A and B are shown apart, each in its own frame.
Chain A
Amino acid sequence: MDDLKKLSVERLRELARKHLGKGHSRLRTRAQLLAALTGALKVSSAGAADPTGAPVPADSRVRVVDFPPGRKGRVRAEHTAPKGGRRGRTAPPSGSGSTPRTAAPVARQGAGGGGSNGSTRGAGGNGSAGRGDGSGGARRPRAGAAPSAAPASTPGPVAPRVEPVVEEAFFETPQMPRRQRHTPVPLEQPEPGPLASPREVGTDAPLLLVRDPTTLFVFWDFRRELERGAALGLREPRVLLRIYRGADLDRSLELPLGARSTYVSGLASGEEYTAEVLLLGRDGWTRPIGNRSGARQLPPGRLEVRTLRLPWSEPLGRGPGASAAAPGREPLDSPRRLTLPSSPGARGPGHGPSPSGGPRSGRN
């Protein structure tokens, strides 16, 4: 339990929300959180019980391993569930005993026979899992409903708060963010997908298109055998898109498994980028799909020529606003806006199309 002291208040609150259920929000200070969590977790670790109260075999615990080799401190569950338990790749149907990865421990208690398997699956949940798919969130019971959800026959002194494998839950979300999500995953597509789409062909690498000097559009539609090969053995894979600036990794983006494209913005104009698509398993394993893309250079951003007129008599520190700004110097001829005898703001040809809709309207 000393490990609790190493956690941030935010992480402690997260654990409290998970393990203490209703009322955890009344815990204000770090000390209160530590005290409450220590008490709760002692109970569960002493019992090391599965949701039905049966002891969990010692070898189903989680242990810390280096993953990938050379990277310290990453955690992976050792799957040593009893025989017959599923090493769930995908969430089984509701009521089968296994729970979606976002399910709280109390839900597993009411789930019946698949308890040990459920505990294994629970290990893989992380803080963002609730956003991963709608089904997980839909099945998650409220913490306050836990006591009534527990079977009447459940043994154990504090059954509703029993966590099958405490360490597993403790380690399930590393304190350090594993991958920053620079680009939020869009919640909804603004347009329906195309009805007619070539599915027979696939690419070997992602493809990059330039949208503007700081934004790339990356899309891919890998050959199915490439996708299947990359997914083999990965649990609950998500798509990981890596963007390289030259030879250096610029950023990694996690995307839902079905993602086929994304916009990557905030890139450096004028620079050359490549992209690589990988599958990221729940336990952190990654496997590339196909090859890295060809390089795509972003166009340069617009250069601005700035000048400042600063009379010698003016003291520094008053800011440029104190003096008159010189007109911008531009190379050779300066194309500048011309005042014409026109109606300001009147709708002209660049304004928009007619209701009948001309195709060549509103350009430029």
Chain B
Amino acid sequence: MEMRPPRGALLLVLHAHLPYVRHPDDEDHLEEEWLGEAVLECYLPLLEVLERLAADRVPVRLTLSVTPTLLAMLEDPLLVSRVGRRLERQRALAEREVRRTAHDAELHRVASFYQARLERLAELWSVRHRGALVPAFAALADRGLVELIASGATHGFLPLLRTSARAVRAQVAVGVAEHVRQLGRRPAGFWLPECGYYPGLEQVLAAEGLRFTFLDAHGLTDAEPRPLLSVHAPAFTESGVAVYARDPEASEQVWSSEVGYPADPVYRDFYRDIGWDLPTDALVPVVGPGRPRRATGFKYHRITGRGPDKAVWDPELAFARAGEHGRHFVQRVQERTRALVTRMDRDPLVVAPYDAELFGHWWFEGPAFLEALFREAARVGLSVVTPADDLQAWPEAQVVAPVESSWGEHGHASMWLDPVNDWIPQALHGCAQMLAPFADAPRLDQVDERALVQAFRELLLAQSSDFAFILRSGTVTAYARARVQAHLAAFLELVRAVRAGSLDPLRLHALEDRDPVFPSLTLGPFRE
């Protein structure tokens, strides 16, 4: 097979994930709002950008991982209805804000911007997508704009689950199965939660028919033998799974709070919010009576600089700057790959993976950056590819053994293995040991099996890397600890009840009802 001449390419990956948070008994649960925020600030704007690009016939090839927990929440009628309610509250707040800021031209312009934006989002949510974003993502994949890849069932950090091979296999297998069930297609690739890799994990991926995954840069550059093409080409592992490595410069350009694009002074400041600035009474329509203050999404100021004094945000200026940054990003990729193309016998790649929630939530102007990036890439002829495109074009690569790594702090596991959260992997290991003999049992009573499947579900939920992360980062630690404890307690309750023959069907039903995630779950993925 004759190869075409190499050319530089960008491989852009967005990883969309939220932990499973569902509290049916609390209408205004603070942590449940993460989903509403992400839908209105990230997912809807991303869909809007991609569809606009497609309408303008701009070539788009985006690699997108959507985790099973996020897919499950996006399909949950209760949570979807609450997202809709949040949108209505936001629209009502926008109306109030337009009135409140009428005396101040600068603030009023921002309030009017929010109002118009929310009207557009409401149209997208209710009319265009009818509250169903999962089919919208699937449709993008059908149209060839997006390559959807799978991820861990509950985003378990696999290097810390490795003491139980079953637990690792289950995270991968359930993740793939849920991807197939919810998106209707087999994934070719897998996003390792937190880019957490350890030697041997590729065999688990290979067993699920997964062809590629992503590592942080040092996972590949420290591989044995050293990869000849550094992070600019994939390498094969012995199992045949290809690994792509995150490009450090591309990461820093977008992630860094010091020198990255989102730190530009004209961009909207994330922290200043009327939820903290306005009197409590004025917030009642948004946060509810007697509820603590919380961010509303109405932010009137720009980063400006260090210190608390902030200038008023100018949407026009900010979105123009996002366009500049998108073009600058493409220009840098071109410069770098142009220098590499003469030294490589394949396409030199810049692999740029990011959390999808960065664009729109943390970096409000992020979706505009993405749009400008794709438009500029099309204009200058920079190829934007997915791993499947790349591996089909260049099926030969060096064989290496990557090293244990993650994209967390210091590149390893310290974020998820620390004195504040190291009780979690210990407990998870014990639970996996408890469940193993039941999973291997040749025959189970029907109700017992239901209970054990629910126990398995609880175990998967307790494995989420997000809770350990929160405990370490010190944000909403009480919630994170309570969540892990609740899942562990439910697991133990169910397994002990099965063992003792004292299962309460009503209690089982209540637990199933509490977290109805992975409805097709069986003990199969946990079997030896």
Contacts and interface: CB of A to CB of B under 8 A. Distances in A.
Interface of A: 186, 189-191, 193-201, 203, 207, 209-213, 215, 217, 219, 221, 260-261, 263, 297-300, 302-303, 331-333, 335-364
Contacts of B408: 363-364
B489 A196 contact: yes
B420 A357 contact: no
Contacts, number: 249
Contacts of A186: 419
B258 interface: yes
B423 A194 contact: yes
Interface residues of B, number: 110
- The list of the 5 closest CB pairs from A to B, nearest first, reads A349-B362, A348-B257, A198-B430, A335-B248, A196-B488
Interface of B: 17-19, 30-31, 33-34, 37, 159-160, 162-163, 194, 198-199, 217-218, 221-222, 226, 229-232, 247-249, 251-253, 255-265, 269-271, 273, 275-276, 293-295, 303-306, 325, 328, 332, 336, 339-340, 343, 348, 355, 357-358, 361-363, 403-405, 407-414, 417-427, 429-431, 433-434, 466, 469-471, 473, 475-476, 479, 484-485, 488-489, 491-492, 496
B427 A209 contact: no
26 contacts: A195-B485, A207-B163, A210-B412, A211-B418, A221-B426, A260-B426, A263-B419, A298-B404, A299-B403, A302-B222, A333-B340, A337-B259, A340-B263, A343-B264, A345-B257, A346-B265, A347-B257, A347-B263, A348-B256, A348-B258, A349-B270, A352-B473, A356-B33, A358-B37, A359-B18, A363-B407
B430 A357 contact: no
A211 B157 CA distance: 12
Contacts of A335: 217, 231, 247-249
A347 B431 contact: no
B320 to A, nearest CB: 13
Nearest to B496: A200
Contacts of A219: 422, 425-426, 429
For A193, A201, A215, A300, which residue has the most chain B Cβ atoms within 10 angstroms? A201
Given A207-B163, A350-B257, 7 more contacts: A194-B484, A300-B222, A333-B336, A336-B249, A343-B264, A346-B303, A357-B476
Contacts of A263: 419
A335 B231 CA distance: 10
A241 to B, nearest CB: 15
Given A193-B423, A211-B412, A303-B222, A201 B434 contact: yes
A358 B470 CA distance: 9
A212 to B, nearest CB: 4
A213 B406 CA distance: 12
B473 A362 contact: yes
Contacts of A209: 159-160, 162-163, 413, 417, 425
A364 B426 contact: no
A362 B261 CA distance: 16
Contacts of A337: 249, 252, 259
A217 B265 CA distance: 42
